[in-house]
Chains A and B, each alone.
Chain A
Amino acid sequence: MGPFETLLDIEQNCKANTVKIPRQIVTEKDWLGIAFKASGFNFVCPMAIVTEVLRWPSVTELPSAAHWFKGTANLRGHILPVTDFQGFITNKPHRSRSLSRVLVITLSGVSYGFAVEQVIGIERFFSEEKKPLDGIDHIEDYLPYVEGAFERNEKPWLILNMHAVIESTEFYHIVSFKRDYEPGI
């Protein structure tokens, strides 16, 4: 084998044994989101729309507000409306503030705060982990706002459709003028 052939051989060997760089491995097949808990379920929200995760901010309550509308907070000079995510969807407010966090969701340039029971962190899922919603029990209240699910460790992770939440009629009924609800946190 001459020197040129040797070089060609080395080149071919290199090409055959190349390991792809990590960025190429995790391409369109994976899904990245912020995971959190509500009503005992795990939810995931697309990473691109969660702009911040806050501890409970100090909020100004609204007179006669619906139980799930917690008020307005000062987010570095901007007004942030804060909604109790679980309370809004299930009508049962969560009570603990110790682990609770507020997710700042930004859609069409508008930010909304959603208080959730507990933030788990950033989770990466793969398309093989997709699971149909049919087999998941007790998620009736959440169904209109969920667009799919992943399964990991035999537990469902529900993919939230925040557009559906902010487009729902009820989301705009922030004042009730009735005091027949269960007092929240």
Chain B
Amino acid sequence: MSQESEDEELIHIFIEEAKELLDAIAMSLQKWSTDLTDKTIFAALKRDLHTLKGGARMVSQPILGTLAHELESLCDFLLNTTMPIERKHYDLICAGQDRMNVLVDLLATQKPLLGIEDLVAQFKAAISGVEKPIQEEALPAQKKEPAKTSKEPEVTSETTNEVIRIKSDLLESLNNLSIENNIIRVNVSHYVDKIKLNLNEIMRLIKVFQEKASKNSGPYRPYSISDILGLFEACKSAIQIHSNVESLLSQQSRVSLELQERLIDTRMISFSSIVPRLSRTVRQVASELKKKIDFNVLQAEGEIDRNLLDHIVPSLEHLLRNSLDHGIESAEERLKQNKPEVGKINLRFFRMGHEACMEISDDGAGINVEAVKRKAIKLGLLAEDAKYSNEELIRFIFEPGFSTKEHISEISGRGVGMDVVNTVVKALGGNLSIESQTGKGTKCVIRAPFTTSMNRALLVTVKSQIFGILLSTVENIVLLDVKRIKEALKKQEVIVYNNKEYHLKYLGEVLGLEDNLSIPSNKESLPVLFFNFADYNAALLVDSLIGSQEVVVQTLGPQFKLMDMFSGATLLADGRVIIILDAYSMALERRKLGEIMERQVGAKREFTILVVDDSITIRTVTKNFLERHKYHVLTAKDGLDALEKVAVEKPDLVLLDLEMPRMDGFQFAEKFRSDIAHSSIPIIMITFCTGDTEKARAKQLGINMFINKPYKEPDLLEAVEQLLEIK
């Protein structure tokens, strides 16, 4: 089995796409069956077959690719022939479509695919005019009509939304909860109506009392017993309604919570689902570097939020590439150091409270802390006489543009990776830590809340400003006596709590809001938050605590990527934006490190490549491939979509398919080139059709290069690099 076909993820994408395309083909055939002389359906039919062919070849499925190709040729023949189209032609195309459905089903169930020689021979005979009867065994009678489809005609390959499969019992319970929620809403609304009637009655009675009181000047009470009883009843009923509504609201709160938890469940997938992709990365990189690797994945059966996993996979791939390139030594070097010839990389997945942890460890050379220090000094990030622990020095590799590698390879060394990994992890409300021992290996641990939906934050005030700190990072919250705080600050800012030493800092000072702590004389105690980070214990003093609450942490965006101390932001119920502080950076006062840093942002700009193809399989394969080589990739499903994309972001290069719905490659190129700003952007056309006519047209439109589909990855990379260098 080839490496391509082993890639389950891509096969899965292809199968989904093929099913949608076959549905679209079935719809076209259905339309054709009503009027066999109507040749307008051939354009859509050919385009769908063409897309299917491209996808099949991209995922190394030659049987499906050939069948689609032969069917496409038959459609071409029928479109251009002058002879009348008969029912047998229709039956033949239906037979081809049926066989494709069977093949896709076999592929989905991982069974060996059937042969297609019989059908191909019939197609060729039909084209050459020597027709053979359609064999009944190849074309079961009940399958002569195109397969019925439940989808609407407009649902074609253009649908690119991800499909999530949910267990039917889970969907059932979500449905029930939703119904229950609605019933409660109806009941509450009924009581709201009722209470309105009650209040109107109370108002009426009060008016009666007022009128009677104003008319009565004598010593006798103006109210009748029935008036008072009426008011009493109305109030009693209002109180009863209030209690009913309260009970309904508490029911609704339970239902909503359960609904939310179940919905979170729908987003959970097994961590093991990404193992094939990671194994493939390791295999590929190891083979490129000619290193022997034993890659083990431990405890991959746990579940994790799909959204979190989608965001974190590229980071895991980056850490694996780093381990392979920087960490694991060559076989000769390892033998010299009495290490086994085969390097070892372990990936472990585990849960700690509300956090998902992913640990990548290797038995390689470890991080050369001295080299990191030299590079940091050279880049002006660090003063020569600065004293930092090894752990702090290692964190310099998170700085943009930081790499100790002398040479840039395709795998790593550009220094644009670890800062991105750190930013991504931070954006998810997590933390990346690295431990390394020279000569023994490196261990990277990503910790992130196991679902990205909700977090609990502690809200504190400092100098009248409110800040949030993720509660999961806080070890203890204690109200400490002011005297004790003052003593600790005198004693080099060390405080002893629970027999452990903590480095005490005032948050206002760390944030640069105040230079020295001035404690108001009326305060006897102040809140102190205690943190325990690996080998560093810290305590942060704040002005006051507001409390803790559920928050949705949002990323602050790229403009904050250099700001270690802010990990995100959240919105309060009144709409105010609250900044979430990164406790680790606060505790280490990393903003001071920031002051001496001459940042290298923007020095190394990634090239942006726009991939325009109507096949989601080809778009995904090409995007993954280019991203592995550090390109920023935009994708578009056809020419029109591509024009919209380039209006917003100018690419450095375009990879263009020829045959696409709505606007084809040539039409796009013509429009694209008509804008003077795009005149020098190279275009590579990737297509099956490379006849002389097409080539001449392409040259006229300023297309720089042709590559045949399915392309070979090294050829594409070479072409891209060549054109970008020319540029």
Counting chain B residues whose Cβ lies within 8 A of the other chain, the interface size class is 35 or more
B129 close to chain A: CB less than 8 A: no
* A169 interface neighbour in B558, B561, B599, Cβ under 8 Å: B599
Contacts of A169 in B (CB 8 A): 599-603
Interface string of B115-140 (1 = CB under 8 A from A): 00000000000000000000000000
Contacts of B576 in A (CB 8 A): 58, 60, 74
A173 close to chain B: CB less than 8 A: yes
| Cross-chain contact A63 with B577 (CB below 8 angstroms) | no
Interface string of A104-129 (1 = CB under 8 A from B): 00111011100000000000000000
Q: Which of B144-167 contact A (CB under 8 A)?
A: none
Contacts of A23 in B (CB 8 A): none
* Contact flag A81-B559 (CB < 8 Å), given A60-B578, A163-B650: yes
| Cross-chain contact B556 with A81 (CB below 8 angstroms) | yes
| Cross-chain contact A74 with B602 (CB below 8 angstroms) | no
| Cross-chain contact B599 with A172 (CB below 8 angstroms) | yes
**A77 to B674 Cα, complex, angstroms:** 39
Q: Which of B513-572 contact A (CB under 8 A)?
A: 513, 554-563, 566, 569, 571
* B577 interface neighbour in A79, A111, A173, Cβ under 8 Å: A79
Shortest Cβ distance from B462 into A: residue: A63
Contacts of A108 in B (CB 8 A): 648-649
| Cross-chain contact A74 with B575 (CB below 8 angstroms) | yes
| Cross-chain contact B557 with A110 (CB below 8 angstroms) | yes
A4 close to chain B: CB less than 8 A: no
Shortest Cβ distance from A106 into B: residue: B648
Question: What's the nearest-Cβ distance from chain A to residue B590, in Å?
Answer: 11
| Contact residues of A: prevailing secondary structure | mixed
| Cross-chain contact B575 with A173 (CB below 8 angstroms) | no
**A79 to B576 Cα, complex, angstroms:** 10
| Count, A-B residue pairs, CB within 8 A | 92
| Cross-chain contact B513 with A174 (CB below 8 angstroms) | no
For A, the interface residue count at a CB cutoff of 8 angstroms equals 37
- Residue from A63, A111, A171 whose CB has the most chain B CB atoms within 10 Å: A63
A143 close to chain B: CB less than 8 A: no
* Contact flag A79-B557 (CB < 8 Å), given A63-B511, A106-B648: yes
**A53 to B358 Cα, complex, angstroms:** 42
Residues of A near any B CB (own CB < 8 A): 28, 46, 48-49, 58-64, 71-74, 77-79, 81, 83, 106-108, 110-112, 163, 166-169, 171-175, 177
B595 close to chain A: CB less than 8 A: yes
Contacts of A163 in B (CB 8 A): 649-650
Shortest Cβ distance from A81 into B: residue: B559
| Cross-chain contact A64 with B648 (CB below 8 angstroms) | no
**A83 to B559 Cα, complex, angstroms:** 10
Contacts of B559 in A (CB 8 A): 81, 83, 112, 166, 171-172, 174
B647 close to chain A: CB less than 8 A: yes
* Contact flag A60-B591 (CB < 8 Å), given A28-B675, A172-B561: no
B439 close to chain A: CB less than 8 A: no
| 28 A-B residue pairings within 8 Å (CB atoms) | A46-B647, A48-B647, A58-B575, A60-B569, A63-B513, A64-B511, A64-B512, A73-B577, A78-B554, A79-B555, A79-B557, A81-B556, A81-B560, A106-B648, A108-B648, A108-B649, A110-B557, A111-B557, A112-B557, A112-B559, A163-B649, A166-B559, A169-B600, A171-B559, A172-B562, A173-B599, A177-B512, A177-B595
**A166 to B599 Cα, complex, angstroms:** 15
Question: What's the nearest-Cβ distance from chain A to residue B288, in Å?
Answer: 29
* Contact flag A77-B571 (CB < 8 Å), given A60-B578, A168-B602, A169-B599: yes
